[in-house]
Amino acid sequence: MAKTKYTKIDGSSKEYWGLFGITGFLALLAPLSALYIFVNGHHVTGMTNQVPWGLPIVMAVYLIGASAGSLVLSAMSSVFGKKEFKPFSRMAALLAILLIIAALMAIILDWGRPDRLMLPFFYFQPRSMFSLNAILYSAYVGLCGIYLWAMFNDKGKLEKLLGISAVFLAVLVHSGTGAIFGFVYVRELYNSPLLSPAFIAAALSSGTAMMIIMIHGTFKLTGRHVDAKLIYSLAKLMGIFIIVVLYFIFVENLTRAYAPKNYEAVSFLLFNGGKYTNLFWVGLLGLGLIIPMSIVLNPKTGKSTLFVLIAAWMQLIGVVIERYIIVIPPQVLPLELFPDKQITSTFLDGQIASYNISFVEICYSIGLIGVVLFGFIVCIKLWPMLPTEAHYQELD
Amino acid sequence: MSVDRRDFLKLGITLAAGTMVGPAGFALSNVSSHANKTNSNDSLINKWGMVIDIDKCAPNCNSCVDACRKENNIPDFSNPELDIHWIRKVKFKQKHVPEPTERSLPAMCFHCEDPPCAHVCPVEATFIRKDGIVLVDKHRCIGCRYCMVACPYKARSFVSKHVNPENANNPDVPVRMHGVVEKCNFCVHRIDVGKDPACVEACHANGGGGMQFGKFNQNDNGILKVVRGGKAQQLRADLGTNPKVYYVGI
């Protein structure tokens, strides 16, 4: 098998500097929005005392998932023996690092006191998933970095070992992220042992979708050749991961719906929750999962780059919706102070709360994506991340 | 390409192992730390707590809430979604019953023995004092709001606006800080100088006098005696958080 060659991109064209400027501007939106929120107080966001976690947390969870997903893809060749994906392993590992950095930004800048950044590293509370995740996330960033270094230096065995450890840590990191919500035993829609594995399934599907889009875009813009068959096999992989996501959603909701005590919560999500119900059926199940899955698993559309790209975009946005549905509705539903009684109060007890995404949160979320893209186009200029070409035939 | 069976299996096993190791370890450590508690029946002794007889709590009486707001300089943001509530009157009526009577009770932080808020706090800003009071160190809180998501009783509020300290009436309580989470602290500054919390004092002065505050003490006729009688109940006792505020007459 011919050895894959990696080169830096030239990065001197007008288009490059144009992209550099646009993504750089977008990336600036994140710290600027965070500063705006910090100076004014969180009342400028959509968060309330009823819904303390809003879009920034949705984005954080999403970015962590995409990071874990791309890391698994990066390790596909060295850990899982899928040699045909070798050309993408560097850029996938790079994306994994950038995504987790953006996720950490999302979390930290969403705090009421981001100025107390270092405190979670000074104090340790073993029962807090946030405390554990602070350790897991930092270890993960470090390990991904070392793994990328090993790939650059062709460390063979060490690369494989690091790959295995990084995949293991990625799974742990994202299980930990799922557990943030899954462990909240007081909210019916959060508390579930399935959240961690379901998070990983969605991480893999959205990570694959993101890689398809990034590979196609980067190779096209840099004039490098990528064999369409590689895109199609990634798409098929995405289809399989989507089936797993669907399965988890099915089992989780059915199990929950069985218990009479959960009737109110489940019917809110599935039938009379207004925008949340629409998001669930149309946004997530229809547009985010079933349609893209059908596109990529259909032998005809699955072999059309255009269709595959459409499916990847749908899936990418579908998983944002999935995270939104996981994070927001459980907070919107009132807490059951008395499960057998109807309650009201001046603190809006017993009422369905509302969460309206504010403009500044949207800027903030776009900014986080800007951080990833800006980091990516800077890094592919600085280091040889991209293969000169990616051929399917290179297989043994 | 097709994902062959062996690869899929490998992937599956890696995922499953990773998924289980983490949470399982933490859960086990929680259970074992619970098992190590010596005789958990005694854990209440010498802790502060409250018993509230809600038959004495008139639906239109708000004196505990008013007193709390005044004592703790709680600002009025005039926005029910953002307003800070340390104590509130909760009105309730029976479900599944035709024409049920509406009744009410004051709800605040219940200073749980096993407080989910303290467990989820990544920096131990929420902690339990030796006398059982659950406190928030506002200088350590990072404002992540995990505690608000985890608290079963909606006892916590986030300070989402800057509050001008010059508008504060009571100089005895610390200056309010934006970007952190706060909640009822049983008026710790009052009980440390031998006074009752402001809500309890106001309940006896202007309200029905249903709130009884004190330590769960073996040998006197205080709140432990009422709780021993078996008629007092906690809210959501099923969650195992073991609140130290009991209600009589629900």
pLDDT in tens, A199-220: 999 999 999 999 999 999 999 9
| A119 vs B contacts (CB less than 8 Å) | 123, 140, 142
Sort out which chain A residues have CB atoms less than 8 A from B153's CB and list them.
335, 337
> How far is it, in rounded angstroms, from Cα B149 to Cα B141?
15
ipTM of this predicted structure: 0.94
**Residues of chain A positioned with their CB less than 8 A from the CB of B144:** 107, 110-112, 130
| pLDDT at residue B248 greater than cutoff 50 | yes
Contact assignment for B80 to A346 by CB distance below 8 Å: yes
CB pairs under 8 A between A and B: 229
- Quick check: A237 and B235 CB within 8 A? no
Contact A110, A60 (CB under 8 A): yes
**Looking at beta carbons, which residues of chain A come within 8 Å of B92?**
337-338, 341-344
Interior/surface letters B110-121, b for 16+ CB within 10 angstroms, e for the rest: bbbbbbbbbbbb
pLDDT at A396: 45
Position A392 scores a pLDDT of 76
- Are A84 and A392 a contacting pair, CB within 8 Å? yes
What does the pLDDT average to over A153-182?
92
For domain B41-248, which CATH number applies: 3.40.50.10800, 3.30.70.20, 1.20.120.1230, 1.25.40.10?
Answer: 3.30.70.20
Task: With a cut of 60, say whether residue A40 has pLDDT above it.
Answer: yes
pLDDT surpasses 80 at A236? yes
Does residue B216 contact residue B226 with C-beta atoms inside 8 Å? no
Q: pLDDT, tens digit, for every residue of B48-59?
A: 999 999 999 999
Summarised one tens digit per residue, pLDDT across range A272-296 is 999 999 999 999 999 999 999 999 9
Which pLDDT score, from 0 to 100, does residue B8 have?
53
Task: Outline where chain B has alpha helix (H).
Answer: 5-36, 63-71, 116-120, 146-150, 188-191, 198-205, 223-228
Per the model's pLDDT, the better-predicted residue between B8 and A21 turns out to be A21
Looking at residues A253-260, what average pLDDT do you find?
A: 94
Q: What is the pLDDT of residues A138-155, one digit of tens each?
A: 999 999 999 999 999 988
Identify all chain A residues contacting B30, using CB atoms and an 8 Å cutoff. Answer: 127
pLDDT at residue B56, as a whole number: 96
Contact state of B121 with A119 under an 8 Å Cβ cutoff = no
Cα of B38 to nearest chain A Cα, Å: 20
Q: A99 or B10, which is more confident?
A: A99
CB contact under 8 A, B158 and A339: no
User: Would you call B19 and A200 a contact, using CB atoms and an 8 Å cutoff?
Assistant: yes
Average pLDDT, chain A: 94
Beta strand pairing call for B181-183 and B156-158: antiparallel
Distance from C-alpha of A33 to C-alpha of A368, rounded to nearest angstrom = 10
Domain boundaries, chain B: 1-36, 41-248
**What is the structure's pLDDT at A38?**
94
Q: What is the pLDDT of residue B1?
A: 41
The lowest-confidence range among A182-196, A308-322, B1-15 is B1-15
Task: Report the residue of B7, B57, B160 to disrupt the A interface, i.e. the one with the largest count of A CBs within 10 Å.
Answer: B160
- In order of their start, the domains of chain A are 6-390 (1.20.1630.10)
A344/B1 CB distance under 8 A: no
Instruction: Please give the pLDDT value at position A232.
Output: 96
Nearest CA in chain B to A43: B160
- What's the pLDDT at B30? 63
